[in-house]
Structure 1
Amino acid sequence: MTVTPLPKSLQDTPQLGSWISFASPGKVQVRTGKVELGQGILVALAQIVAEELEVALERVEILPADTLLSPNEGFTAGSQSVEVSGAALRLVAAQSRQALLRVAATRTGHRPEEISCHDGLLRVEGTDIGLDFWTLAPEVDWTQVVDVRTIGRDRRDYRLAGTSTRRGDVLQRLASGGFIHDMAFEGMRHARIVRQPFRLARLASIDRTGFSRRHPTVVIFQKGDFLAFVGADEYAVHAAHDEAEVFVEWTPDPGRKCAAKAPAEMRKEVRKDHAGHRATNSAIRARYSRGYIAHGSIGPSCALAHFVDGGLTVWSHSQGVFALRDQIAACLDLRPLRVRVIHVPGAGCYGHNGADDAALDAAIVACELKGTPVRVQWSRVDELSRGPLGAAMATEIEAALGSDGSVSAWKLSVVSAPQAQRPGTGGYANLSSAEALDPGHAPRHVEDVPELAGGGASRNATAIYDFPDHEVSVSLDTRSPIRTSSLRSLGAHLNVFAIECAMDELAGIAGIDPIALRLRHLKDKRCRAVLNEVAAMSGWRPDDAGGEGRGRGVGVSRYKNKGAWLAAVAEVTVDEAVRVERLWLCVDAGFLINPQGARAQIEGGALQSASWTLLESVPVADGRVPPLNWSNYPILRFSDVPEVETRFIVNENEPPLGAGEAAQGPVAAAIGNAVSHALGVRVRDLPLTRERLMQLLVSDER
């Protein structure tokens, strides 16, 4: 019999007591290495624990990720929190319940199966026996290792998991804050970092005399090319930071190079069958692209740090507190165990934004001002222009049709800037202030996310369709000095856009309805189901000619080819600009722990994808990012939000699948295909701005 391996989280931290505690009467305290980014994951994890223990949800307290106390679960990324951490906590809670029942059985002489639970109270034949989880907990051996063979409750008996539960954390923050930006300590100093205007710039000069006359209450701190303004009055520090260019000069240093070595091109033959459909002359060779994208967090990055008694504590909204701890320690020549990083929620961000950079910023200044708490707040320009960007990339597809109109050959090649440069990736700090302290911290080689983990630039590069000849190649381009890293869905955003737009182009050549062509090449029953369902939801008509500024388009994929399935139909109008009027989304994410939370993730991802598709691109010139704010880096406004209808295909017997990134590619493709349907001209480059469409239409007329 094949035994399912323990979830990775439990392989790394196998002791039961590392995850759960009943030490606080009436409370179940749970530790997880996953963090809240606005996605509602902590509520879903609490539901899993409460379900297995049969206690009220209000009793479960998910404690913040903390490098001193929490299990190391890596980064909160890849839509894997429910799949990995949820699976781990289900085993933890189930084994805790069984251990507590065994202690009760020993005390009372009853068999464990005769004892039932009701909100932590134990009963036999419906009668309370005067025992509860909290009085029994001291007698449990919490050093025991979690056993993968532990059997949890039958899903047919679930009462919490699978229901939409109100997010108490949102209500709390509406009433009393609770974001990292709200934190303050007695005697705290505020710091603003004067960031290098381009990567590895050298700090040429500082007019300290003029600065002191203008800003007498603000202190300059410099270490290498790291420059900070520090003071007790946040507004005075902010005013000084606004005028930094008056007093500070930077210069390029040709001796500093940040071009990293890229890994070898990845090539694979997904399928090779020359006996398949014979190709005709009907073929496409098309290139699809997107530029750099900013994370665009509404609340700029923030961090606090305090160095006292030889130890450094950092509060951060990082997505990976353990990796961040290790890199802070390495940069400041501290032992990792002398550095503690505690997660505090910040503005929602899906990917590697400036949170980790701000944490190192605060740590550097705090080590200089020993005993004094330090708070670093980024500016809007810092957030949009100095944090890591989503990678620019291009995907080229060559495809041919057989005599029956089916796809007979398919070749996809991707060229992308690096997609994964989180702290510690590749053995490098991957933090801007680390490079300011010492240019030697700039990475000399980069890595992509392994295929086994879903890939980075290669994510969803393999089409979900069953083509007789199917080849994929992926290359990283590291020539640009622009710092790039993980942004929601990584390469899947453009790769799915390219695949799905190419399928529409091929359908047009073959004279086949786009959905019909997709179904012809889909054996995946669950993918077929979401595609058929979204067609029914939207009232899809194969004979809809579109045109005259109105169109519809479709897109479908399975995230990472192993996660949630999502099919989207977009309806757009095009006049002065593109406006998405309606979106229909059909999703199969397996068993939904919290349906409303899953819906929020899907629809939030769809709107973010619409913003990327229509508006977002960072202008880059000579390897530099200019100062950006909302006026020159627009995002989707509330007035432009389309009507969204979402439907889930739920199978309670299937395991939960992450939903947070499933919408990015299919929604972009649906919008792109809808715009092409509306204009009668194929659009292949993102974003679909008015200027880009005008150029395309003028070029087509010629």
Structure 2
Amino acid sequence: MSFADDKIDAGRRRFMMSGALVVSFSLIPGIKAMAQEVIADEGAAVHIGKATQALAGSLKTNPYLDAWIKINATGKVTVYTGKVELGTGVRTALLQIASEELDMAPSLITFLTADTGASPDEGLTAGSHTIADSGSALLNAAAQVRGLLVDAAAKHFGVSGSAMTVHNAVIRTPDGRAMTYGEAVGLVDLHRMATPDSPLKDPAKFDMIGTSLPRVDIPAKVTGGPSYVQDMIMPGMVHARVVMPPVYDAKLLETNTPEILKMPGVLKVVRNGSLLAVVAKGEWQAVQAQRALAAGSRWSAGRALPDPATVHRDLKQISTEHIEIANTHNPAGTPVKTLSARYTKRYMMHGSIGPSCSVALFKDGEMTVWTHSQGVYPLRDGLAEMLSMPKDKIRCIHVEGSGCYGHNGADDVAAHAALIAREMDGAPVRVQWMREQEHTWDHFTPAMVTEVRASLDASGTIVDWDYALWSSSHNERIVNAGRLIPAQMLEKPFVPAPSVPMVQPEGGGDRNAIPLYSFPNMHVMNNFSPAMPLHSSAMRSLGAHMNVFSIEAIMDELAAAAGADPVAFRLKHLHDPRARDVVQLAARKFGWPRPPRKRNHGVGFAFGKYKNLMAYVAIAVEVSVVPETGQVILEHAEVAVDSGTIVNPDGIRNQIEGGIVQSASWTLYEELKFDTSAIRSFDWSSYPILRYSAAPRSIKVHLIDRPGAPFLGAAEASMGPTAGALANALFDATGKRLRDMPLSGDSLRRQIDV
């Protein structure tokens, strides 16, 4: 069948697109207008124009349909996202969303993630925003593309669009005439802005959304196939290793470069100020040369680190900005009982199992970087500034890394690779940090202090709530070249952009500091430190882990003071019906309240709605304690989750389960070891994480699906509730109120012995 008579002239289309500047001001605002609204997403400034504010998700910032979906004349369908796969399974879920609304099997779609040379700019993959933002954008973009193709085919065949059916990218009339997407795309221009209204499918007719499609990233990972940037091999690739300063601000004074250049396979020693690296033909040759170069280099003293014994006291001195984030005053009962508590959290590291890695190629004046950064566009901009290169001459392509959930060394090692590649014109350069570099040069999660004071009236109702926290932004993502560690070491160093607090309701250190519970009188203060003594930045859930821990721990104490069951006490103060649903479901599945426990066993409960914007999570746990060692085992957990429309049930369960395991590790075991001279947690023996022997014995996740409701991010939603439930269960098991993380080990053993 020929559709030549209806086809859009491609040459005329290109001419019209190139001339669109003449008429575009009637369709989309100019740059000044586009910047009228700014939304901060963990460090990435996203500009939204008035003309796009009504669009769904990331369509607000990337409104053209062909930025998301391209279809060629042969019918090949390519779908793009600016988000990346970090091990959460979002690549599979986003593919399901596009597949659903395009009415075609996932296997027929080529799905590409973040690439500054191809994908829309969606800033960072962070904050549980991927499905909420990119998923919403793809849902609507795919529906609109399908609608345009169906309407074009219907017009060609002279029938009503509502009479057409679509299956696997083929559009059919009631009498059997058919047109493929490849044929239909010649009749319609997809380079057009999305509209606020989309011909979305009835959720009751979903075929793909709501099913547990097997993750597309798993097969290679479990069979040993190339899966990560660490696995990349390119023709002519050389290997580099860097030598890092022994402490912050140490300056390179002397090297043994002539000796290193004589070593087997060594191609070059790169030095720029205090940046030092060696390039070799083979990886082991690079490692050997790096060790010799490090041993033969001399550094200045650098700066002293804080005394770990006074870190939490010091926070109150360095927190110089005092930001009131909640202040409500309503009539309430008379306080008859007041409780107060102080909680602390130490510095922790990301603990990436695989050291950060990147490959870079500088050729013909252009730089290509393969990276596991969580934000390829912010990274590209930072590299452009650092290298004094135009942005359009730098391409950052995401390749999965071994995982971290936060701001580890991925951006920094990419900067190392780019700087070294510029010295090795035409050769791909692979740079991988060593284990001690990954640990000691991590962007640690900041220490925190929280204090809460709450009052009950005679009926056992909370009538007054006063909460304060001391910490930093928890987010020093790449917003300029100075945020890249290697850029700070150059002969002409770049200065990091100033740290700024993230605004509510997202929040940074104050994320989830405002309880979802209903209190008539509430005051919440964020005491913000614009500078921290250790390198620190974003780690999964930011301040929510500590804030929900603190809120949920004191809620149990208040329940006890009121003579109330902890679950009933929470329900008494929860008016959000969806919050009540998850609390009641978790309690019912757990069999709350449990009968008296075995000796050294305890149960605990906690609830949170991530950022008060995303998924609802309630969790009931049982723990066991070994008094002689202070070891704590999470024996059993029942979890209820409401994340709106569920795309991939197994994917959500994976993330909730993984979040519980990670949060248990943070809450019970993890703390960074350092002294005034250096970071001492340089390997796994000096930074213990949860071992298999202490892994949760049983976790059951129960999902509340709300088809058609907005997507609510779930990946980070279990971090805080898990911490709170563990604290409450430990009190039930030991009779000790533990307020200083980590909760297990020697500190717990000593308290039990008292």
Normalised to the residue count of structure 2, the TM-score between the two structures is: 0.88
Find the counterpart in structure 2 of residue 505 from structure 1: 557
Q: Secondary structure at the match of 2:430?
A: strand
Query: 2:73·2:183 contact (CA, 8 Å) conserved in 1?
Result: no
How many angstroms does 1:373 deviate by? 1.0
Query: 1:548·1:679 contact (CA, 8 Å) conserved in 2?
Result: no
Q: 2:617 aligned to 555, 559, 566, which one?
A: 566
Q: 2:471 aligned to 416, 432, 437, which one?
A: 416
Q: 1:515 aligned to 567, 574, 598, which one?
A: 567
Find the counterpart in structure 2 of residue 402 from structure 1: 457
Letter paired with 1:134: G
Matched, 1:443 2:500: no
Q: Secondary structure at the match of 2:266?
A: coil
Q: Secondary structure at the match of 1:441?
A: coil
Letter paired with 2:545: H
Find the counterpart in structure 2 of residue 264 from structure 1: 321
The within-5 A match list for 1:256-655 is 264-273=321-330, 275-280=331-336, 282-424=337-479, 427=480, 429-437=482-490, 440-443=493-496, 445-452=498-505, 454-541=506-593, 544=596, 548-575=599-626, 576=629, 577-622=631-676, 624-642=678-696, 643-655=698-710
Show CA shifts across 1:365-396 (max 9, x none): 00111111100011122222212111111111
Query: 1:210·1:247 contact (CA, 8 Å) conserved in 2?
Result: no
Query: 1:482·1:623 contact (CA, 8 Å) conserved in 2?
Result: no
Show CA shifts across 1:508-561 (max 9, x none): 2222221122111111111111111111111122764x5842111111010001
525-534 vs 244-253, which moves further:
244-253
Q: Secondary structure at the match of 2:347?
A: coil
Letter paired with 2:188: V
Q: 1:161 aligned to 200, 209, 224, which one?
A: 209
Query: 2:85·2:400 contact (CA, 8 Å) conserved in 1?
Result: yes
Find the counterpart in structure 2 of residue 172 from structure 1: 220
Q: Secondary structure at the match of 1:506?
A: helix
Take 1:385 and 1:680, find their aligned partners in 2: how far apart are those partners?
Answer: 37
Take 1:666 and 1:481, find their aligned partners in 2: how far apart are those partners?
Answer: 29
529-538 vs 241-250, which moves further:
241-250
How many angstroms does 1:6 deviate by? 0.8
Query: 2:304·2:676 contact (CA, 8 Å) conserved in 1?
Result: no
Take 1:631 and 1:477, find their aligned partners in 2: how far apart are those partners?
Answer: 31
Letter paired with 2:446: A
How many angstroms does 1:361 deviate by? 0.6
Change (3 A) 1:561 1:623: farther
Show CA shifts across 1:307-362 (max 9, x none): 11111010001110000000001011111111110111111221111111111010
How many angstroms does 1:61 deviate by? 1.9
Q: Secondary structure at the match of 1:670?
A: helix
Take 1:621 and 1:365, find their aligned partners in 2: how far apart are those partners?
Answer: 32
Change (3 A) 1:80 1:605: same
The within-5 A match list for 1:42-61 is 42-61=91-110
Root-mean-square deviation over aligned CA pairs? 2.4
- Mark the runs of 5 or more structure 1 residues left unpaired by the alignment: none
Q: Secondary structure at the match of 1:147?
A: coil
Q: Secondary structure at the match of 1:622?
A: coil
Query: 1:26·1:59 contact (CA, 8 Å) conserved in 2?
Result: no
Show CA shifts across 1:574-595 (max 9, x none): 1121111111111111110111
Take 1:57 and 1:460, find their aligned partners in 2: how far apart are those partners?
Answer: 37
239-248 vs 224-233, which moves further:
239-248
Find the counterpart in structure 2 of residue 230 from structure 1: 279
Change (3 A) 1:627 1:554: closer
How many angstroms does 1:244 deviate by? 4.5
2-11 vs 433-442, which moves further:
2-11
Change (3 A) 1:682 1:627: closer
Letter paired with 1:430: R
Show CA shifts across 1:671-696 (max 9, x none): 11111111101000111231111333
Take 1:505 and 1:51, find their aligned partners in 2: how far apart are those partners?
Answer: 47
Show CA shifts across 1:440-479 (max 9, x none): 5343621122214x11011000011111211100122245
Change (3 A) 1:438 1:600: farther
Show CA shifts across 1:140-159 (max 9, x none): 21221111112211111111
Take 1:610 and 1:255, find their aligned partners in 2: how far apart are those partners?
Answer: 32
Change (3 A) 1:27 1:637: farther
How many angstroms does 1:397 deviate by? 0.7
How many angstroms does 1:27 deviate by? 3.4
Letter paired with 2:349: A
Change (3 A) 1:76 1:144: same
Take 2:60 and 2:532, find their aligned partners in 1: how far apart are those partners?
Answer: 39
Take 2:683 and 2:150, find their aligned partners in 1: how far apart are those partners?
Answer: 58
180-189 vs 307-316, which moves further:
180-189
Letter paired with 2:551: I
Letter paired with 1:266: I
Query: 2:257·2:293 contact (CA, 8 Å) conserved in 1?
Result: no
Take 1:522 and 1:623, find their aligned partners in 2: how far apart are those partners?
Answer: 48
Find the counterpart in structure 1 of residue 157 from structure 2: 108
Q: Secondary structure at the match of 1:98?
A: helix
Q: Secondary structure at the match of 1:287?
A: strand
Take 2:595 and 2:525, find their aligned partners in 1: how far apart are those partners?
Answer: 36
Matched, 1:123 2:172: yes
Query: 1:547·1:677 contact (CA, 8 Å) conserved in 2?
Result: no
Change (3 A) 1:92 1:444: closer
Take 1:40 and 1:349, find their aligned partners in 2: how far apart are those partners?
Answer: 14
Find the counterpart in structure 2 of residue 205 from structure 1: 254
- Mark the runs of 5 or more structure 2 residues left unpaired by the alignment: 1-50, 307-314
Letter paired with 1:492: A
Change (3 A) 1:198 1:639: same
How many angstroms does 1:204 deviate by? 2.2
How many angstroms does 1:249 deviate by? 2.1
The within-5 A match list for 1:20-39 is 20-23=69-72, 25-39=74-88
Equivalenced residues, count: 690
How many angstroms does 1:9 deviate by? 2.1
Take 1:230 and 1:627, find their aligned partners in 2: how far apart are those partners?
Answer: 27
Q: 2:232 aligned to 177, 183, 206, which one?
A: 183
Show CA shifts across 1:389-413 (max 9, x none): 1111111111122222222211110
Letter paired with 1:158: F
Letter paired with 1:295: H
How many angstroms does 1:270 deviate by? 3.9
How many angstroms does 1:215 deviate by? 6.1
Letter paired with 1:505: E
Normalised to the residue count of structure 1, the TM-score between the two structures is: 0.94
Take 1:188 and 1:139, find their aligned partners in 2: how far apart are those partners?
Answer: 45
Query: 1:199·1:481 contact (CA, 8 Å) conserved in 2?
Result: no
Q: Secondary structure at the match of 2:339?
A: strand
Letter paired with 1:555: A
Query: 1:34·1:76 contact (CA, 8 Å) conserved in 2?
Result: yes
Take 1:572 and 1:294, find their aligned partners in 2: how far apart are those partners?
Answer: 25
